[in-house]
Structure 1
Amino acid sequence: MASLKDVAKLAGVSLMTVSRALNSPDKLSEETYINVKKAIDQLNYVPDVSALKIRGDRKVPKLIGVLALDTATTPFSVELLQGIEKTAQTYQCNTLVVNLFDDKDAEQAINTILSYRPTGIIFTSMGFRQISIPAKLHDRHLVLANCITSDIKVASYVPDDYQGQYASIEYIIAKGYRRPLCIYLSPTILAGKIRRQAVEQAWQDNGLSLDLIRSYHLNLDLGDEHYLETIAIIQRYFSQDTSEFDIIICGNDRIALLVYQVLLGLGYRIPQQIAVLGYDNMVGIGQLFYPPLTTVELPHYQIGEHAALHIINQLSDTQEHKINCPLLERSSL
């Protein structure tokens, strides 16, 4: 890799002249600047950012560190990282994303980020969850994205799952549905618990009896293979020509995908015979359901955007900020 000395040698100038060409080109003659610029381009020279920081160069872009707990390895939360990156670029900031696969063993990842002296750190997770904050981050400018903690007081930006699910239930009630089958995420998963509470509260607030609802929780805390429990639930109630239900409320779009497959395999027409409501707007999949799936969108991009702005604007609050989850009206209802 070419060095500053290599550029100076090729251009036939001093190190100071090269430095001025990089940082204060207006102090050089046009001829000298063009000469140095040609040498930089020929050698593909890239300035050493760490060296600039050591010299206290104010022109060095701010760096936002991102600890990505499972986030960068899944398609479901990729928009969260895009929200962070694009917002950072808008404000001339750089980002450094370090994958984290276990929040209990994060020392190496944290040391990597801290070695770059970031202006702040965003801790993200795939799936809204409770996390543990390593001690090394307790005194840093930290913000959480798509996760919360009880370890320290720290700001977080999370989906408003209650609002999103509540609004979706009011929507299906307004459309006349009264006999729902609900297949939820595990009650040990934060979203699973919150979404069920929202369903039942919206149902009661509209003067309807909870006796009309049949509810199941999948054992997803034991592994993703338990999504397949959905198949047995649907077969149990829909193997006959008629069903007691008029809508299936799914804990997320992955459940809805299985529901579609089983129902269509049994000859049911969606939504003419049975309606389906999802949740998440799963990236790359949500628009490929046939008929298109009505679902609630997780605001991953907005969460990343708000978290980045929290660092960029040097905000100091420690609140939990809930981001609105919009209903996407499609053809499954």
Structure 2
Amino acid sequence: MAASLSDIAERAGVSIKTVSGALHGGTARMSEETRARIKEIAEELGYVTNLAARGVRQGWLPLIGVVADELITSPFATEIIRGLDGAARTAEMAVFAMNLSGNRDVGSVLEEVRRFRPRAIAYAAMYHKTVELPPELSKSVGVMINCREASGRVISLVPDEEAAAIEVTRHLLAAGRKRIAFINLPGLLAGELREQGFRTVLNDAGLSPLAVLPAVRRPTYSDRAPSLVLAHVTALMAAADRPDAILCGNDRVAMEVYAALRRVGAAIPDDVAVASFDNQVEIASRLDPPLTTMALPHRAMGRLAAEILLTGPSSPARLLKLPFQLMERSSV
């Protein structure tokens, strides 16, 4: 039979309350020597915490629940969950996710998550967007990851898209590139903010964009939408004022730009530099030449989300923008 708290208490010669305090962080006072002795006995007896019983006593289980807004279908899900899980494990917590997609509404998914009595709940999105949570539901969510809550009631952690575009555009200018085209992501908040940063840097340098073009035919970007990249690159390279750099809305667009440039006989980076956003490593590091791109702060968002959920925010700010990292490779 599994060892119980009373078994440990009898062996250690202390009360069950003292054992519970040593193993589960209760309020019982004891010396560090007593605490260490109790933990040693618990390990000898093979004691395993009864999470269900503990949840009944304190009203929650050592879990962080995640409402995953199509996140599980994203290549970045691993990085967000790794950051969240790593920080949670340090606090002896575990992470689980419920997927929000298709016809499921956020209320029903939140109810499923709450059934597990988690210590805290996060809402994580596949891409940077604005999410409207009903007021009664926003009270259950401790932090938004990779998205912003429309009313500002919930702390939101988002990538600093505009600052990332400023940094990568400055990098292109520092490399001597001045005729820069941007093949962007239409209809997405990330694309809008990145374009703002791109235009800001060029304006400050007394330059204008050579072109700002949508990567797909539809109003909103999707990697399943009909691509316009080949047509754009072909037209740009046939013009009298050809670009010496192309900034891409993400690494998938950059991959298409590589293929289009090769098709028209242009070399990277000798004829045209290429830079991008996201740092999907399986794409960026394997292109020839490897792609210079801005790495999204997904793991950092996960870590910070866990800290906020378990210890509270370190500032009163409701929208926290996390910086990208410039990954310099050979395409610039």
- Return the TM-score normalized by structure 1: 0.82
Superposition pairs for residues 118-137 of structure 1, below 5 Å?
Answer: 118-137=118-137
| Closer, same or farther: CA 33–190 of 1 in aligned 2, 3 Å | closer
Query: Which residue identity is paired with 1:110?
Result: L
> Does structure 1 residue 289 correspond to structure 2 residue 287?
yes
Report the counterpart of residue 157 of structure 1 in structure 2. Answer: 157
* SS of equivalent residue, structure 2 residue 265: coil
Report the counterpart of residue 181 of structure 2 in structure 1. Answer: 181
| Closer, same or farther: CA 104–317 of 1 in aligned 2, 3 Å | farther
Report the counterpart of residue 296 of structure 2 in structure 1. Answer: 298
Q: Which residue among 271, 275, 278 is the counterpart of 1:277?
A: 275
* SS of equivalent residue, structure 1 residue 110: helix
Verify the 8 A CA contact 2:54 2:61 in the aligned structure 1: no
Verify the 8 A CA contact 1:280 1:295 in the aligned structure 2: yes
In 1, distance between residues paired with 2:91 and 2:39? 28
| Aligned residues: CA RMSD | 3.1
Aligned length: 308
Report the counterpart of residue 43 of structure 1 in structure 2. Answer: none
Report the counterpart of residue 320 of structure 1 in structure 2. Answer: 319
Report the counterpart of residue 199 of structure 1 in structure 2. Answer: 198
* SS of equivalent residue, structure 2 residue 274: strand
In 1, distance between residues paired with 2:53 and 2:152? 34
In 1, distance between residues paired with 2:308 and 2:319? 12
Per-residue deviation at 1:95? 1.4
Verify the 8 A CA contact 2:182 2:213 in the aligned structure 1: yes
Per-residue deviation at 1:152? 4.6
Report the counterpart of residue 65 of structure 2 in structure 1. Answer: 65
Superposition pairs for residues 1-333 of structure 1, below 5 Å?
Answer: 7=2, 16-17=6-7, 37=46, 47-56=49-58, 62-101=62-101, 105-140=105-140, 142-186=142-186, 188-208=187-207, 210=208, 212-217=209-214, 218=216, 219=218, 221=220, 223-226=222-225, 228-238=227-237, 244-315=242-313, 317-333=316-332
**Structure 1 stretches (4+) deviating beyond 4 angstroms?**
18-30
| Closer, same or farther: CA 227–310 of 1 in aligned 2, 3 Å | farther
Per-residue deviation at 1:220? 5.6
Per-residue deviation at 1:64? 1.4
In 1, distance between residues paired with 2:260 and 2:237? 9
* SS of equivalent residue, structure 1 residue 322: strand
In 2, distance between residues paired with 1:7 and 1:17? 10
* SS of equivalent residue, structure 2 residue 224: helix
Query: Which residue identity is paired with 1:17?
Result: D
Q: In the TM superposition, what whole-angstrom CA distance separates every residue of 1:302-329 from its partner, at most 9, and x where no partner exists?
A: 1111111111112383520111112211
* SS of equivalent residue, structure 2 residue 316: coil
Per-residue deviation at 1:76? 2.8
| Closer, same or farther: CA 309–222 of 1 in aligned 2, 3 Å | closer
Query: Which residue identity is paired with 1:71?
Result: L
* SS of equivalent residue, structure 1 residue 127: coil
Query: Which residue identity is paired with 1:215?
Result: V
In 2, distance between residues paired with 1:233 and 1:216? 8
Verify the 8 A CA contact 1:220 1:226 in the aligned structure 2: no
* SS of equivalent residue, structure 1 residue 120: strand
Per-residue deviation at 1:297? 1.1
* SS of equivalent residue, structure 2 residue 196: helix
In 2, distance between residues paired with 1:33 and 1:294? 50
Verify the 8 A CA contact 1:154 1:317 in the aligned structure 2: no
Comparing 162-171 with 16-25, which one deviates more in the overlay?
A: 16-25
Per-residue deviation at 1:48? 3.9
| Closer, same or farther: CA 129–265 of 1 in aligned 2, 3 Å | same
Query: Which residue identity is paired with 1:137?
Result: L
State the identity %.
29
| Closer, same or farther: CA 19–289 of 1 in aligned 2, 3 Å | farther
Verify the 8 A CA contact 1:141 1:311 in the aligned structure 2: no
| Closer, same or farther: CA 77–54 of 1 in aligned 2, 3 Å | closer
Q: Mind listing any 5+ residue stretches in structure 2 that lack a counterpart?
A: 12-18, 24-36
